[in-house]
Chain A
Amino acid sequence: MKINRRNFTLTGGALTLGFLLGDGVISLTPAEAKAQNLPFHRLTKNQASLIDILGDAIVPGAKAAGLSHYIDHQLSVRHQDNLLILRYLRVNPPFDGFYSASLQAFEEAIQQRYHKEPSDLTEVEISDFITIMMQKNPEFWSLPGHEAPPAPFFYFVLRSDAIDVTYSTMEAFDSLDIPYMAHLEPAHTWEVSPK
């Protein structure tokens, strides 16, 4: 059976989250939160920037799709509302420590190896680094006193998060020429009030 993909109308629904702004909660997509430069609640600015650098190198488009805001938002909700892929992967909540230890390991390993900051890496350098980290811990990854999750595992998790935020929206389906065919569109029920 062959169906005509254009039989399905794509509505403009998107992945919206409730972001805390001052006293109120507003509904935005992670990409909008990124574009509006909303403050982070759980991540430091540096951690958010490391997430964007590495996440975007693994899944191009993840930074603009709002990867760091997405992770920051998910870290700030109750476990039962948390939607990070880590839920499936035998890491016990809270998940903040997983990201902070991994990001610190990433930053230190880059500094030791290239004698520069992650934001200054060339495309080739970061790509070489990712090729190593997906297979084993790069040199200087997990230093005594700064133990971190295994690099291949962190790579897998961040890659999955980045695919989630970049490719799960209706717009992303449309760009892949896939009909979304929602029964219930995610935009209406996505909101989670940060506590």
Chain B
Amino acid sequence: MNYAEKTDVVIVGSGAAGSLMAAKLAESGKKVIILEAGPERTLKDLTSSQIHARRLKWSGDLVMENGAQPIGNGFNSGYGTGGAALHHYAVWPRLHAEDFKIRSLHGRHLDWPISYDDLRPYYDRIQQEVGISGDSQAEVWRPDGADYPLPPVPAFQQSEIIAEGFKKLGKSLSPLPLALNSREYMDRPGCLWDGWCDAGCPTKALANPLAVYLPKAKKHDCQIIHDATVTRVLTEQNGKKTIGVTYRIKDGIEITLMAKMVILAAFAIQTPRLLLASAEGGLANRSGLLGSYIMSHAAALVYGLFEEETEPYMGPTGGQMLNQDSYDHKDKRPQGFGSYQWMIAQAVKPNDLLGFGGSNPGIFGAKLTEFMQRAAQHFGGMTACVEDLPQRENRVSLSSEKDKFGLPLASVTHTSHKDSLALWQGAKQEGMEIFKAAKAEQVWTGPLGPMHLMGGTIMGQDAETSVTNSYGQCHDIDNLFIAGPGLFPTSGGVNPTFTVHALTLRSSEYILKNWSSLT
């Protein structure tokens, strides 16, 4: 076994949560080492190509997927500097107050151990620090919060045409809140509206970890070690305190890194895998819930062809407009239970899963050639982000299969709750009506797509019903923290990464305030 020098903090994973945590702790004088399983990536690697974008995806150990609606790890997980956040689409709405209290309000599923009001100041501070473009007044559904620091994204033809359908049916619309610059902000340039966000934005207009928090962390005592897969969290013999981690570099050599504090930010599948593999029965698993409540939003994809030219290639990949009419009062949907939002008018390319060529797989041959020509100028699309209700049996467990060094692989089972499926069906139906009202010549929908991974290491009030407290601190081990969407006890119907940032900022301040008692 090789030993590395001791550090204050080791962070596992360099994505959204890991990079923010590293910046805050390093800025406050802590010596931080980030261990990242994937390769080093720089902004220069973010080639504008939907095919190249696939290189940013998970290519670590296999993940076995089961259940009726598998979670789509290959699409949803990232690998290398910045993790999945390096090429995320920057749609950053807030959770609503009701999302935190489903059990108290509706007598079902789970509550968060904090309320929206607890998180609100952190949302406000993050949006100022990172830069979000939007129009808070137009977001009539938005919970209380400071106005966005940047004006909203412009509306291109596609969103203006689809907006007609919303208006005709009496529905509300606002610009989509996006963590990208509608104009220069904090020394980062404005967006060029070219729709290459999925390939990763190399200009820093979009707030990915390479643009915002990793450079901040590196200005201080923070080092990232790449191609370093953490295989075990180490504890003192009584199991009450972590003392560091073991990681594997290329060729399987294992190194032990001693640290005063360990923070796991390896996303919703690998963090529970690591804890399950670190001790008999799992580390920090008094509740028996380690790995449970894995969630993935169901994407309801609605597509159409319009008579007018839509310029579908213009704008950010995440979309241009938002509708959250079906968000609050989760029990008042015509069918199902929960919340969803529409992200309207995503910029699209011809190829890839989300490209217009892939939207209508029933077309082939000469008809496909015709379709591609027409869709290039007349295509429109929107996506509903549909809440996935948490269920204990949806979980990450250890597979009987092992990687080549003997570490058990992650096995993930996910079957959507029947009320989530009904909600998804209802959203698709509504989407088709909206497109017809917008005078689409043809309307069609896509299959259920899993989008965003959450849960697996949920936070809660106590050690019997959750893995961590509201700061991501493991109930059983004071100096072991978890950061990322794995902490969410419920998914809401909004994209998770703004909330990940708000939670991580809150945790970092708790850690710094209590450093001496924690370590």
Contacts and interface: CB of A to CB of B under 8 A. Distances in A.
The reply to whether chain A is a binding partner of chain B is yes
Contacts of B376: 176-178
13 contacts: A1-B154, A15-B49, A15-B51, A58-B364, A81-B55, A85-B54, A88-B54, A164-B352, A168-B349, A179-B313, A181-B313, A184-B46, A189-B45
Interface of A: 1-3, 15, 57-61, 79-85, 87-90, 92, 127, 130, 134, 155-156, 159-160, 163-164, 167-168, 172-173, 176-186, 188-190
Given A3-B314, A58-B364, A177-B377, A190 B72 contact: no
B361 A134 contact: yes
Contacts of B350: 163, 167-168, 172-173, 176, 178
The winner among A84, A134, A155, A189 for most chain B CB atoms within 10 A is A189
Interface in B273-290: none
B365 A60 contact: yes
Interface stretch (B112-120, B125-133, B195-203, B390-398): B195-203
- By secondary structure, the A interface counts as loop
Nearest to B369: A60
Contacts of B369: 60-61
Nearest to B377: A177
A85 B368 CA distance: 19
A87 B313 CA distance: 25
B373 interface: yes
A183 B202 contact: yes
A189 B47 contact: yes
A60 B377 CA distance: 20
Given A2-B157, A159-B364, A179-B313, A190 B47 contact: yes
B135 to A, nearest CB: 16
A92 B409 CA distance: 13
A177 B374 CA distance: 10
A88 B74 contact: yes
B39 interface: yes
B172 interface: no
A155 B365 CA distance: 13
A127 B365 contact: yes
A180 to B, nearest CB: 7
A134 B349 CA distance: 23
Contacts of B357: 160, 163, 167
A128 B11 CA distance: 56
